[in-house]
Amino acid sequence: MSEVHAARRARLRERCTAGGCAALVSRAANVRYLTDGAPPGAALLLAPDHDVLVLPREPWAEPERGWPPEGVEQVVLPSADGDCAVAAAELADRIGVQGLAVEEHHLTVARHRELARAAPRLRLTDLDRAVEQLRLVKEDDEIAALRVAAEITDHALGELLESILVGRTERHLALELERRLVDHGADSAAFPPHVGTGPNAGAPNHHPGDRRVEEGDFLTVCLGACYRGYRCEVGRTFVVGSEPASWQIELYELVFAAQRAGREALAPGAAYRDVDRAVRQVVDRAGHGDLLGSSVGHGVGLEIHEDPRLSPAAVGKLDACVPVTVEPGVYLPGRGGVRIDDTLVVRPVTDGGPELLTITTKELLAL
Protein backbone atom coordinates (compact mmCIF):
# COMPACT_ATOMS: atom_id res chain seq x y z
CA MET A 1 0.00 0.00 0.00
CA SER A 2 2.86 2.40 0.59
CA GLU A 3 3.15 3.63 -3.03
CA VAL A 4 -0.56 4.33 -2.96
CA HIS A 5 -0.13 6.57 0.05
CA ALA A 6 2.95 8.24 -1.38
CA ALA A 7 0.99 9.01 -4.55
CA ARG A 8 -1.80 10.55 -2.49
CA ARG A 9 0.67 12.74 -0.64
CA ALA A 10 2.23 13.77 -3.95
CA ARG A 11 -1.18 14.84 -5.23
CA LEU A 12 -1.85 16.89 -2.13
CA ARG A 13 1.60 18.45 -2.24
CA GLU A 14 1.02 19.47 -5.84
CA ARG A 15 -2.14 21.30 -4.85
CA CYS A 16 -1.08 22.85 -1.60
CA THR A 17 2.61 23.56 -1.36
CA ALA A 18 3.03 26.11 -4.10
CA GLY A 19 5.40 28.97 -3.30
CA GLY A 20 7.28 27.09 -0.59
CA CYS A 21 4.25 26.66 1.66
CA ALA A 22 3.55 23.59 3.77
CA ALA A 23 0.30 21.81 4.59
CA LEU A 24 -0.58 20.50 8.03
CA VAL A 25 -3.10 17.65 8.12
CA SER A 26 -4.62 16.97 11.54
CA ARG A 27 -8.05 15.45 10.90
CA ALA A 28 -7.74 11.76 11.82
CA ALA A 29 -9.37 10.25 8.70
CA ASN A 30 -7.26 12.55 6.51
CA VAL A 31 -4.03 11.57 8.25
CA ARG A 32 -5.00 7.93 7.83
CA TYR A 33 -5.78 8.44 4.13
CA LEU A 34 -2.32 9.86 3.53
CA THR A 35 -0.23 7.53 5.71
CA ASP A 36 -2.30 4.45 6.52
CA GLY A 37 -2.48 3.28 10.06
CA ALA A 38 -1.15 6.31 11.93
CA PRO A 39 -2.51 6.33 15.48
CA PRO A 40 -5.20 8.72 16.71
CA GLY A 41 -3.81 12.17 17.44
CA ALA A 42 -1.01 12.01 14.84
CA ALA A 43 -0.44 14.97 12.51
CA LEU A 44 1.18 15.07 9.08
CA LEU A 45 3.31 17.95 7.83
CA LEU A 46 3.75 18.09 4.06
CA ALA A 47 6.60 20.49 3.40
CA PRO A 48 7.75 21.25 -0.15
CA ASP A 49 10.65 18.83 0.04
CA HIS A 50 9.77 16.32 2.72
CA ASP A 51 6.98 14.83 4.81
CA VAL A 52 7.00 14.55 8.59
CA LEU A 53 4.58 12.47 10.61
CA VAL A 54 4.35 13.60 14.23
CA LEU A 55 3.25 10.78 16.52
CA PRO A 56 1.93 10.93 20.07
CA ARG A 57 4.23 9.74 22.82
CA GLU A 58 1.85 7.02 24.06
CA PRO A 59 2.84 3.56 22.87
CA TRP A 60 0.51 2.20 20.20
CA ALA A 61 0.03 -0.90 18.11
CA GLU A 62 1.81 -0.39 14.79
CA PRO A 63 -0.02 -1.80 11.76
CA GLU A 64 1.28 -5.17 10.66
CA ARG A 65 1.81 -4.15 7.04
CA GLY A 66 3.06 -1.05 5.30
CA TRP A 67 4.53 0.60 8.37
CA PRO A 68 6.40 2.89 8.68
CA PRO A 69 5.26 4.73 5.55
CA GLU A 70 8.16 5.10 3.16
CA GLY A 71 9.60 8.53 2.58
CA VAL A 72 8.02 10.00 5.69
CA GLU A 73 10.18 11.16 8.54
CA GLN A 74 8.77 10.21 11.93
CA VAL A 75 8.97 12.37 15.01
CA VAL A 76 7.58 11.28 18.36
CA LEU A 77 6.31 13.97 20.73
CA PRO A 78 8.75 14.62 23.56
CA SER A 79 5.97 14.93 26.12
CA ALA A 80 2.97 12.72 26.68
CA ASP A 81 0.78 15.79 27.19
CA GLY A 82 1.64 17.40 23.85
CA ASP A 83 -0.42 18.05 20.73
CA CYS A 84 1.00 16.59 17.51
CA ALA A 85 -0.43 19.37 15.34
CA VAL A 86 1.16 22.04 17.53
CA ALA A 87 4.50 20.21 17.38
CA ALA A 88 4.19 19.96 13.59
CA ALA A 89 3.52 23.71 13.35
CA GLU A 90 6.58 24.41 15.49
CA LEU A 91 8.63 22.21 13.18
CA ALA A 92 7.31 24.03 10.10
CA ASP A 93 8.29 27.32 11.68
CA ARG A 94 11.78 25.99 12.43
CA ILE A 95 12.50 24.60 8.97
CA GLY A 96 11.38 27.92 7.51
CA VAL A 97 8.54 27.26 5.10
CA GLN A 98 6.80 30.26 3.56
CA GLY A 99 3.36 29.64 5.01
CA LEU A 100 1.30 26.91 6.58
CA ALA A 101 -2.11 25.74 5.37
CA VAL A 102 -4.15 24.16 8.18
CA GLU A 103 -7.53 22.45 8.35
CA GLU A 104 -9.76 25.28 9.58
CA HIS A 105 -12.87 23.09 9.27
CA HIS A 106 -11.34 20.71 11.79
CA LEU A 107 -9.22 22.78 14.19
CA THR A 108 -11.04 24.55 16.99
CA VAL A 109 -10.46 28.25 17.47
CA ALA A 110 -8.53 27.50 20.68
CA ARG A 111 -6.26 24.95 19.03
CA HIS A 112 -5.67 27.18 16.01
CA ARG A 113 -4.49 29.88 18.43
CA GLU A 114 -1.99 27.40 19.93
CA LEU A 115 -0.73 26.56 16.46
CA ALA A 116 -0.26 30.24 15.66
CA ARG A 117 1.66 30.67 18.91
CA ALA A 118 3.88 27.69 18.07
CA ALA A 119 4.69 29.07 14.61
CA PRO A 120 5.00 32.83 15.15
CA ARG A 121 6.88 33.43 11.89
CA LEU A 122 4.37 31.66 9.67
CA ARG A 123 1.22 32.96 8.13
CA LEU A 124 -1.52 30.37 8.68
CA THR A 125 -3.86 29.86 5.75
CA ASP A 126 -6.78 27.51 5.18
CA LEU A 127 -6.10 24.09 3.70
CA ASP A 128 -9.88 23.73 3.69
CA ARG A 129 -11.25 20.35 2.58
CA ALA A 130 -8.38 19.62 0.18
CA VAL A 131 -7.80 16.12 1.55
CA GLU A 132 -11.55 15.41 1.63
CA GLN A 133 -11.62 16.43 -2.04
CA LEU A 134 -8.89 13.91 -2.84
CA ARG A 135 -10.81 11.26 -0.91
CA LEU A 136 -13.97 11.79 -2.95
CA VAL A 137 -13.09 9.57 -5.93
CA LYS A 138 -12.06 6.14 -4.68
CA GLU A 139 -9.24 3.95 -5.98
CA ASP A 140 -9.85 0.30 -6.90
CA ASP A 141 -8.52 -0.99 -3.59
CA GLU A 142 -10.83 1.30 -1.69
CA ILE A 143 -13.86 0.14 -3.66
CA ALA A 144 -12.78 -3.48 -3.18
CA ALA A 145 -12.76 -2.90 0.60
CA LEU A 146 -16.23 -1.31 0.40
CA ARG A 147 -17.46 -4.31 -1.60
CA VAL A 148 -16.34 -6.67 1.16
CA ALA A 149 -17.89 -4.39 3.78
CA ALA A 150 -21.19 -4.51 1.90
CA GLU A 151 -21.05 -8.29 1.58
CA ILE A 152 -20.52 -8.66 5.33
CA THR A 153 -23.40 -6.27 5.94
CA ASP A 154 -25.78 -8.18 3.69
CA HIS A 155 -24.84 -11.44 5.47
CA ALA A 156 -25.46 -10.00 8.92
CA LEU A 157 -28.82 -8.59 7.87
CA GLY A 158 -29.82 -11.81 6.11
CA GLU A 159 -29.23 -13.84 9.25
CA LEU A 160 -31.27 -11.49 11.36
CA LEU A 161 -34.19 -11.89 8.99
CA GLU A 162 -34.15 -15.64 9.51
CA SER A 163 -34.40 -15.34 13.28
CA ILE A 164 -37.49 -14.84 15.41
CA LEU A 165 -38.10 -11.17 15.97
CA VAL A 166 -41.40 -10.76 17.83
CA GLY A 167 -40.86 -9.93 21.49
CA ARG A 168 -37.24 -8.78 21.17
CA THR A 169 -36.22 -5.23 21.97
CA GLU A 170 -34.75 -2.74 19.52
CA ARG A 171 -31.64 -2.51 21.65
CA HIS A 172 -31.01 -6.26 21.54
CA LEU A 173 -31.58 -6.47 17.82
CA ALA A 174 -29.08 -3.65 17.36
CA LEU A 175 -26.46 -5.42 19.49
CA GLU A 176 -27.08 -8.68 17.66
CA LEU A 177 -26.55 -6.99 14.31
CA GLU A 178 -23.28 -5.59 15.58
CA ARG A 179 -22.14 -9.01 16.75
CA ARG A 180 -23.07 -10.59 13.43
CA LEU A 181 -21.09 -7.97 11.53
CA VAL A 182 -18.03 -8.88 13.58
CA ASP A 183 -18.75 -12.61 13.17
CA HIS A 184 -18.61 -12.20 9.42
CA GLY A 185 -15.28 -10.45 9.49
CA ALA A 186 -15.93 -6.75 10.03
CA ASP A 187 -13.29 -4.78 11.91
CA SER A 188 -16.26 -3.29 13.72
CA ALA A 189 -19.67 -1.83 12.96
CA ALA A 190 -19.35 1.23 10.71
CA PHE A 191 -21.72 3.01 13.13
CA PRO A 192 -24.06 1.85 15.91
CA PRO A 193 -26.85 -0.03 14.11
CA HIS A 194 -30.27 1.68 14.13
CA VAL A 195 -33.34 -0.38 14.86
CA GLY A 196 -36.84 1.09 15.12
CA THR A 197 -40.15 -0.73 15.57
CA GLY A 198 -43.78 0.33 15.33
CA PRO A 199 -44.07 4.09 15.90
CA ASN A 200 -40.26 4.33 16.10
CA ALA A 201 -39.72 2.70 12.69
CA GLY A 202 -38.02 5.12 10.34
CA ALA A 203 -37.96 7.92 12.95
CA PRO A 204 -35.00 10.23 12.40
CA ASN A 205 -32.60 10.40 15.35
CA HIS A 206 -34.28 7.46 17.07
CA HIS A 207 -31.95 5.43 19.29
CA PRO A 208 -32.72 1.73 19.74
CA GLY A 209 -34.66 1.44 22.99
CA ASP A 210 -36.69 -0.97 25.06
CA ARG A 211 -39.68 -1.26 22.75
CA ARG A 212 -40.31 -4.86 21.73
CA VAL A 213 -41.18 -5.97 18.22
CA GLU A 214 -44.93 -6.61 17.84
CA GLU A 215 -47.05 -8.26 15.16
CA GLY A 216 -48.01 -5.79 12.47
CA ASP A 217 -45.12 -3.39 13.21
CA PHE A 218 -43.01 -1.71 10.68
CA LEU A 219 -39.40 -2.60 11.53
CA THR A 220 -36.54 -0.50 10.17
CA VAL A 221 -32.91 -1.50 10.49
CA CYS A 222 -29.85 0.33 9.30
CA LEU A 223 -26.39 -1.16 9.69
CA GLY A 224 -23.00 -1.34 8.05
CA ALA A 225 -19.65 -3.03 8.37
CA CYS A 226 -16.27 -1.38 8.63
CA TYR A 227 -13.70 -3.44 6.69
CA ARG A 228 -10.05 -2.36 6.49
CA GLY A 229 -11.23 1.06 7.58
CA TYR A 230 -13.94 1.40 4.88
CA ARG A 231 -17.55 1.85 5.92
CA CYS A 232 -20.80 1.19 4.09
CA GLU A 233 -24.46 1.10 5.07
CA VAL A 234 -27.70 -0.62 4.21
CA GLY A 235 -31.18 0.19 5.48
CA ARG A 236 -34.36 -1.81 5.07
CA THR A 237 -37.93 -1.72 6.33
CA PHE A 238 -40.02 -4.83 6.98
CA VAL A 239 -43.46 -5.67 8.26
CA VAL A 240 -43.57 -8.06 11.19
CA GLY A 241 -45.65 -11.18 11.30
CA SER A 242 -48.72 -10.47 9.30
CA GLU A 243 -49.77 -9.19 5.91
CA PRO A 244 -48.90 -5.52 5.64
CA ALA A 245 -51.76 -3.05 6.10
CA SER A 246 -52.73 -0.99 3.09
CA TRP A 247 -51.20 2.24 4.51
CA GLN A 248 -47.96 0.33 5.02
CA ILE A 249 -47.93 -0.93 1.44
CA GLU A 250 -48.68 2.55 0.15
CA LEU A 251 -45.94 4.22 2.17
CA TYR A 252 -43.45 1.51 1.28
CA GLU A 253 -44.14 1.78 -2.42
CA LEU A 254 -43.70 5.53 -2.25
CA VAL A 255 -40.29 5.34 -0.56
CA PHE A 256 -39.26 2.49 -2.84
CA ALA A 257 -40.12 4.55 -5.92
CA ALA A 258 -38.28 7.58 -4.50
CA GLN A 259 -35.19 5.54 -3.69
CA ARG A 260 -35.19 3.96 -7.15
CA ALA A 261 -35.42 7.39 -8.72
CA GLY A 262 -32.38 8.42 -6.69
CA ARG A 263 -30.40 5.35 -7.66
CA GLU A 264 -31.25 5.87 -11.31
CA ALA A 265 -30.12 9.49 -11.14
CA LEU A 266 -26.59 8.47 -10.14
CA ALA A 267 -24.23 9.08 -13.04
CA PRO A 268 -20.91 10.78 -13.65
CA GLY A 269 -21.70 14.45 -14.26
CA ALA A 270 -25.04 14.45 -12.43
CA ALA A 271 -25.35 17.38 -10.02
CA TYR A 272 -25.64 16.40 -6.34
CA ARG A 273 -28.81 18.44 -6.02
CA ASP A 274 -30.35 16.75 -9.05
CA VAL A 275 -30.05 13.36 -7.35
CA ASP A 276 -31.74 14.91 -4.33
CA ARG A 277 -34.42 16.41 -6.57
CA ALA A 278 -35.09 13.10 -8.31
CA VAL A 279 -35.96 11.58 -4.94
CA ARG A 280 -37.75 14.61 -3.55
CA GLN A 281 -40.04 14.97 -6.60
CA VAL A 282 -41.47 11.50 -6.07
CA VAL A 283 -42.19 12.16 -2.41
CA ASP A 284 -43.50 15.68 -3.11
CA ARG A 285 -45.97 14.37 -5.65
CA ALA A 286 -47.45 12.14 -2.93
CA GLY A 287 -47.80 15.16 -0.65
CA HIS A 288 -45.17 14.00 1.86
CA GLY A 289 -42.31 16.29 0.82
CA ASP A 290 -42.20 17.97 4.23
CA LEU A 291 -41.54 14.61 5.90
CA LEU A 292 -38.34 13.92 3.95
CA GLY A 293 -35.06 14.65 5.75
CA SER A 294 -32.52 17.31 4.81
CA SER A 295 -30.51 15.07 2.52
CA VAL A 296 -31.23 11.85 0.62
CA GLY A 297 -27.71 10.40 0.70
CA HIS A 298 -24.01 10.99 1.26
CA GLY A 299 -20.58 9.72 0.38
CA VAL A 300 -19.00 6.85 2.33
CA GLY A 301 -15.41 5.66 2.73
CA LEU A 302 -13.04 5.96 5.68
CA GLU A 303 -15.90 7.77 7.41
CA ILE A 304 -19.54 6.85 7.25
CA HIS A 305 -20.47 10.43 6.39
CA GLU A 306 -18.22 11.87 3.72
CA ASP A 307 -18.56 14.30 0.85
CA PRO A 308 -20.63 14.60 -1.25
CA ARG A 309 -23.91 15.43 0.45
CA LEU A 310 -26.94 14.76 -1.75
CA SER A 311 -29.17 17.65 -0.66
CA PRO A 312 -31.06 20.58 -2.17
CA ALA A 313 -28.29 23.07 -1.36
CA ALA A 314 -25.30 20.89 -2.35
CA VAL A 315 -23.02 22.26 -5.05
CA GLY A 316 -21.05 19.93 -7.30
CA LYS A 317 -21.32 16.98 -9.64
CA LEU A 318 -20.78 13.27 -9.21
CA ASP A 319 -17.75 11.55 -10.65
CA ALA A 320 -17.24 7.92 -11.55
CA CYS A 321 -15.94 5.81 -8.65
CA VAL A 322 -17.65 7.89 -5.97
CA PRO A 323 -19.50 5.64 -3.51
CA VAL A 324 -22.66 7.14 -2.07
CA THR A 325 -25.75 6.12 -0.18
CA VAL A 326 -29.27 6.70 -1.45
CA GLU A 327 -31.51 6.60 1.60
CA PRO A 328 -34.80 8.44 1.58
CA GLY A 329 -37.11 7.94 4.53
CA VAL A 330 -40.65 9.13 5.15
CA TYR A 331 -41.83 9.11 8.74
CA LEU A 332 -45.45 9.56 9.86
CA PRO A 333 -45.26 10.81 13.46
CA GLY A 334 -46.94 8.39 15.84
CA ARG A 335 -47.42 5.67 13.20
CA GLY A 336 -43.92 4.89 12.00
CA GLY A 337 -42.21 5.16 8.67
CA VAL A 338 -40.09 3.62 5.96
CA ARG A 339 -36.44 4.05 5.10
CA ILE A 340 -34.64 2.29 2.26
CA ASP A 341 -30.89 2.76 2.09
CA ASP A 342 -28.28 1.37 -0.29
CA THR A 343 -24.60 1.97 -0.89
CA LEU A 344 -23.70 2.29 -4.57
CA VAL A 345 -20.67 3.29 -6.62
CA VAL A 346 -21.23 5.82 -9.40
CA ARG A 347 -20.27 4.32 -12.78
CA PRO A 348 -20.86 5.45 -16.36
CA VAL A 349 -23.61 3.77 -18.38
CA THR A 350 -20.91 2.17 -20.52
CA ASP A 351 -19.78 0.31 -17.40
CA GLY A 352 -23.33 -0.77 -16.63
CA GLY A 353 -24.40 2.27 -14.59
CA PRO A 354 -24.34 2.54 -10.79
CA GLU A 355 -22.85 -0.48 -9.03
CA LEU A 356 -25.12 -1.63 -6.22
CA LEU A 357 -22.98 -2.86 -3.32
CA THR A 358 -25.72 -3.76 -0.84
CA ILE A 359 -27.80 -6.40 -2.54
CA THR A 360 -30.30 -7.40 0.18
CA THR A 361 -33.74 -7.52 -1.41
CA LYS A 362 -35.91 -4.42 -1.39
CA GLU A 363 -39.20 -6.31 -1.65
CA LEU A 364 -41.52 -5.54 1.26
CA LEU A 365 -41.02 -8.69 3.32
CA ALA A 366 -43.44 -9.78 6.02
CA LEU A 367 -41.18 -11.49 8.56
Output 55 or 345, the one with its CB closest to a second copy. Answer: 55
- Is residue 323 within 8 Å of 143, Cβ to Cβ? yes
Q: Is 163 in the site for a second copy (CB under 8 A)?
A: no
Output 218 or 331, the one with its CB closest to a second copy. Answer: 331
Contacting range for a second copy; rule: CB under 8 A; set: 93-101, 252-260, 309-317, 351-359: 309-317
Looking from the CA of 7 toward its CB, the CA atoms found within 13 Å total 6
Q: Is 60 in the site for a second copy (CB under 8 A)?
A: yes
Q: Which of 13, 15, 168, 172 binds a second copy (CB under 8 A)?
A: 172
- Shortest approach of a second copy to residue 312 CB, angstroms? 7
Q: Which of 96, 312, 316, 348 binds a second copy (CB under 8 A)?
A: 312
Output 124 or 240, the one with its CB closest to a second copy. Answer: 124
Query: For 212-249, what is the HEC assignment?
Result: ECCCCCEEEEEECEEECCEECCEEEEEECCCCCCHHHH
Q: Which of 70, 126, 250, 253 binds a second copy (CB under 8 A)?
A: 126
Measure Cα distances from 100 to 77, 124, 200, 332 in Å.
Answer: 20, 5, 48, 50
What residues between 34 and 53 interact with a second copy by CB under 8 A? 39-40
- Is residue 135 within 8 Å of 324, Cβ to Cβ? no
Q: Quote the CA–CA distance of 152 and 146 in Å, as a whole number.
A: 10
Please name every residue paired with 144 in a beta bridge, in sequence order, or none if there are none.
Answer: none
Q: Quote the CA–CA distance of 106 and 92 in Å, as a whole number.
A: 19
Q: Within 10 Å of residue 149's Cβ, how many Cβ atoms?
A: 29
- Is residue 87 within 8 Å of 75, Cβ to Cβ? yes
Q: Is 20 in the site for a second copy (CB under 8 A)?
A: no
> In a 10 Å sphere around its CB, with 0-12 CB exposed, 13-18 middle and 19+ buried, how is residue 194 labelled?
buried
Q: Is 315 in the site for a second copy (CB under 8 A)?
A: no
Q: Which of 5, 9, 106, 155 binds a second copy (CB under 8 A)?
A: 106
Output 99 or 241, the one with its CB closest to a second copy. Answer: 99
First to last CA, the chain: 44
- Interface with a second copy: number of residues (CB under 8 A): 43
Q: Is 161 in the site for a second copy (CB under 8 A)?
A: no
Q: Is 117 in the site for a second copy (CB under 8 A)?
A: no
Q: Is 287 in the site for a second copy (CB under 8 A)?
A: no
Burial 102-125 (b: 16+ CB within 10 A, else e): bbeebbeeeebeebbebbeebebe
Q: Which of 118, 152, 203, 338 binds a second copy (CB under 8 A)?
A: 203
Q: Is 212 in the site for a second copy (CB under 8 A)?
A: no
Q: Is 333 in the site for a second copy (CB under 8 A)?
A: yes
Q: Which of 28, 137, 175, 271 binds a second copy (CB under 8 A)?
A: 175
Contacting range for a second copy; rule: CB under 8 A; set: 148-156, 245-253, 305-313, 358-366: 305-313
Residue whose C-alpha is closest to residue 248's, from 337, 363, 360: 337
- Is residue 340 within 8 Å of 292, Cβ to Cβ? no
Phi, psi of 204 (to 5 degrees): -65, 145
Q: Is 350 in the site for a second copy (CB under 8 A)?
A: no
- Is residue 176 within 8 Å of 157, Cβ to Cβ? no
- Shortest approach of a second copy to residue 80 CB, angstroms? 3
Contacting range for a second copy; rule: CB under 8 A; set: 89-97, 104-112, 148-156, 221-229: 104-112
- Site of interaction with a second copy (CB under 8 A): 39-40, 57-61, 79-81, 104-113, 126, 171-172, 175, 178-179, 182, 188, 192, 200, 203-207, 293-295, 311-313, 331, 333
